């Protein structure tokens, strides 16, 4: 590998690892635990890499590719956890329910999300959940959306309070977002590094290191408002083009994410 590219990769990995390690230290995760997770990532991606290249994935092949022993590759390949995927499914279903509430005419009044009765066959919260959440029962979805602050329940009537689903009830919910959303961003960046110009995905940001501190709150509010409006527009477009749950073999996955970062000169430049 060209040394300039080698050094650039090392510097980039260090830069993305520092905020991650900060999270890990705050939650008592040791270096040895991160090393074990790293080995698992190498094994999983090693098998995927060989499959994408048209080769039959084998323990010996992944060992040669990753530098791990065959014994280690076999061990890691035989033990897996799926908690993040389960959490992501729960999150995606909550987002679909909120999207249906904001876009389906059956749950709108004058173009805005209606106040829903808790139960009923038509225009109720139970019907909304049945239509958009797959096999999640209404009580479970009600609890999830109450915990995230999206809805208010009073006298068996459900009101939408927040349109954006950000599950912050527990640290587990927040850490699941870390794994899913950061992973997707890195996946897009990795794709764009390798892809031909016409095949690259949209990846942009605006930043300014000379902003007056007295306008930071104003810009934060401005960016929150306009970003939410844009995401709602995308959500409405996507909702009109969904396939039925029974035809999910014809479905693809897309996501557009927006993030906000704010630093002052007292904070470490990452």
* Residue 62, in any domain of the structure: yes
CA–CA dist 269, 204 (Å, integer): 20
Query: Where does a domain end: 46, 62, 80?
Result: 80
* Tally of domains in the chain: 3
Tell me, yes or no, whether 156 and 210 share the same domain.
no
pLDDT at residue 167 is higher than 80? no
The reply to whether 64 and 96 lie within a common domain is no
Is 245 part of a structural domain of the chain?
Answer: yes
Contact criterion met (CB below 8 Å) for 93 and 81:
no
- Would the pLDDT of 249 be above 50? yes
Residues 71 and 122 placed together within one structural domain of the fold: no
Q: What is the mean pLDDT of residues 155-163?
A: 91
pLDDT of residue 86: 63
The one-character DSSP state at 136 is -
Determine, yes or no, domain membership for 10. yes
Check residues 248 and 30 and name the one with the higher pLDDT.
30
Q: Is 266 a residue whose pLDDT tops 70?
A: no
Summarised one tens digit per residue, pLDDT across range 104-124 is: 999 999 989 999 999 887 889
Task: Give the domain range for residue 59.
Answer: 1-80
264 or 57, higher pLDDT: 57
**All residues at 6 or more sequence positions from 213 whose CB lies less than 8 Å from its CB, including other chains:** 264
DSSP at 211 = -
Helix (H) or strand (E) holding 152: strand 151-154
User: Which of residues 64, 80, 96 is at a domain's end?
Assistant: 80
Query: Do residues 101 and 123 share a domain?
Result: yes
Residues 2, 74 within the same domain: yes
pTM for the full predicted model: 0.66
Q: What are phi and psi of 117, to 5 degrees?
A: -70, 155
Q: How confident is the model at residue 74 (pLDDT cuts 50, 70, 90)?
A: very high
């Amino acid at each position: 590998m060209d040394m300039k590219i080698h050094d650039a990769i090392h510097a980039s990995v260090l830069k993305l690892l520092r905020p991650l390690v900060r999270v890990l230290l705050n939650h008592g995760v040791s270096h040895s635990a991160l090393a074990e997770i790293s080995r698992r990532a190498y094994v999983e991606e090693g098998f995927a890499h060989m499959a994408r290249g048209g080769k039959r994935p084998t323990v010996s092949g992944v060992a040669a590719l990753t530098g791990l022993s065959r014994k280690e590759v076999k061990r890691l390949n035989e033990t897996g956890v799926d908690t993040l995927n389960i959490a992501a499914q729960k999150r995606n279903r909550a987002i679909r329910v909120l999207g249906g509430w904001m876009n389906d005419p059956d749950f709108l009044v004058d173009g805005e999300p209606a106040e829903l009765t808790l139960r009923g066959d038509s225009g109720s919260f139970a019907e909304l959940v049945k239509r958009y959440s797959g096999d999640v029962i209404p009580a479970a979805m009600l609890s999830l959306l109450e915990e995230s602050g999206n809805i208010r329940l009073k006298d068996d009537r459900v009101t939408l309070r927040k349109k954006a689903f950000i599950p912050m009830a527990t640290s587990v919910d927040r850490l699941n977002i870390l794994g899913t959303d950061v992973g997707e961003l890195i996946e897009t960046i990795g794709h764009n590094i390798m892809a031909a110009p016409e095949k690259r995905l949209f990846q942009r940001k605006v930043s300014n290191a000379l902003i007056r501190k007295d306008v930071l709150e104003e810009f934060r509010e401005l960016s929150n408002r306009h970003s939410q409006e844009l995401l709602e527009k995308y959500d409405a477009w996507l909702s009109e083009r969904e396939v039925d749950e029974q035809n999910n073999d014809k479905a693809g996955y897309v996501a557009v994410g927006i993030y906000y970062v704010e630093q002052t000169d007292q904070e470490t430049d990452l």
